[in-house]
Amino acid sequence: MTIKAGERMPQGTLKRMTKEGPKDVTTDELFKGKTVVLFSVPGAFTPTCDAKHLPGFVELADQIRAKGVDTIACMAVNDVFVMNAWGKASNVGDKVLMLADGNGEYARKLGLELDGTRHGMGMRGQRFALIVRDGVASAVEVEAPGQFKVSAAEHVLGQL
């Protein structure tokens, strides 16, 4: 079942890269007492994700934070090393938290998995953006197949 606005975010664990190496990030650590924009892309370095989706959030990060957002996080069904390399290549710095959902478990818990096997990409996460306030999804924007509109940074900024 796909998460809906007003519902509590499911419990889960993602990974991020630190100076000490990969580190688990629980959903409690990520969402509790915070306002978070969590956006998901089908894959690091893939065309729309790399050229538009992540760059939009990097570019608008200051404006998004000015609306009371504590954390902007990018999630993909990629391993933590790929997410770290993509963050470095995209110069995200501390503007966007790069989160790996390596096995797609969290995407499944959200009901937002994507079967990319037809394209040789395996199971992935759909393209979406969530606004989460203290662990509750206040906005759920899921893209239609092949679209890039409602999960874009500009659209999310307008929802805050």
Catalytic residue positions, numbered: 49
State whether the Cα torsion 39-45-51-57 is positive or negative: positive
Give CA–CA dist 36/13, Å, rounded: 16
133 Cβ contact list (under 8 Å, min separation 6)? 35
Q: Are strands 35-41 and 71-76 parallel, antiparallel or unpaired?
A: parallel
